[in-house]
A = this chain, B = another copy of it.
Amino acid sequence: MRKLIAAAALIGAATAAFAQGAVAPAPNGIAMPEGYKDWRVIGVSARTDNNTLRIIIGNDLAVEAARAGQTNPWPEGTIIGKLVFPQRADPNWAAANVPDGFRHAEFMIKDTTAYASTGGWGYARWLGPEQTPFGADANFAQECFACHVPVASRDYVFTTPAVLP
């Protein structure tokens, strides 16, 4: 009986860890954007340097801007999200790579004033299904920013929105 109760407690803890409300904020204070799982798609990419598949999603502002081609700069309030998956060969289609678990979700939040020190974008990332905040302290965002500097002329965004008829 004690084992059962312990098991139930563990299950409860695991559920809580996965509930979005319980996710700890990033070290720079950015909270996980609510409801991102229900956001619409902006793009897709496959990285051959680290064998990951990426779905790029956005909040309503981002999606409307992407469809209107108004992405340089993206409007204030834009949030762009990347859902990143390790890949494996599809067991049913060997020449296709498909997700193999979940690596992380990461976000760029456009607020020119609040995030002036990182090009007008706030950065945040949560690792794994446990959604552990990435970064030891608030300076972690400088690492994100440094990687995005080469695309400063694209408002620091790598993603080109996919064409959807």
Q: Is the CB of B95 within 8 A of A48?
A: yes
**Chain A contact residues (Cβ within 8 angstroms of B): what range?**
35 or more
A2 interface residue, CB < 8 Å from B?
no
Q: Is the CB of A53 within 8 A of B45?
A: yes
Which residues of chain B are near A92, meaning CB under 8 Å? Answer: 150-151, 154, 158
A96/B48 contact (C-beta < 8 A), A102-B162, A163-B102 known? yes
- Which of B18, B98, B99 meets A165, CB within 8 Å? B18
Provide a sorted-by-A list of 27 A–B residue pairs whose CB atoms are within 8 angstroms.
A37-B164, A38-B40, A39-B40, A40-B40, A41-B57, A41-B83, A44-B44, A44-B54, A44-B85, A44-B98, A44-B99, A45-B97, A45-B98, A46-B46, A46-B87, A47-B96, A55-B55, A85-B162, A93-B158, A98-B160, A99-B160, A101-B163, A102-B163, A126-B165, A129-B163, A129-B165, A131-B165
A43 interface residue, CB < 8 Å from B?
yes
Q: Is the CB of B98 within 8 A of A43?
A: yes
Which residues of chain B are near A163, meaning CB under 8 Å? Answer: 85, 99, 101-102, 129
A49 interface residue, CB < 8 Å from B?
yes
Which residues of chain B are near A158, meaning CB under 8 Å? Answer: 90, 92-93, 96
Interface string of A119-135 (1 = CB under 8 A from B): 00000001011110000
What's the Cα separation between A75 and B159 when bound, in Å?
34
How many Å from the CB of A63 to the closest CB on chain B? 8
Q: Is the CB of A95 within 8 A of B49?
A: yes
- Which of B45, B46, B164 meets A102, CB within 8 Å? B164
Q: Is the CB of B46 within 8 A of A97?
A: yes
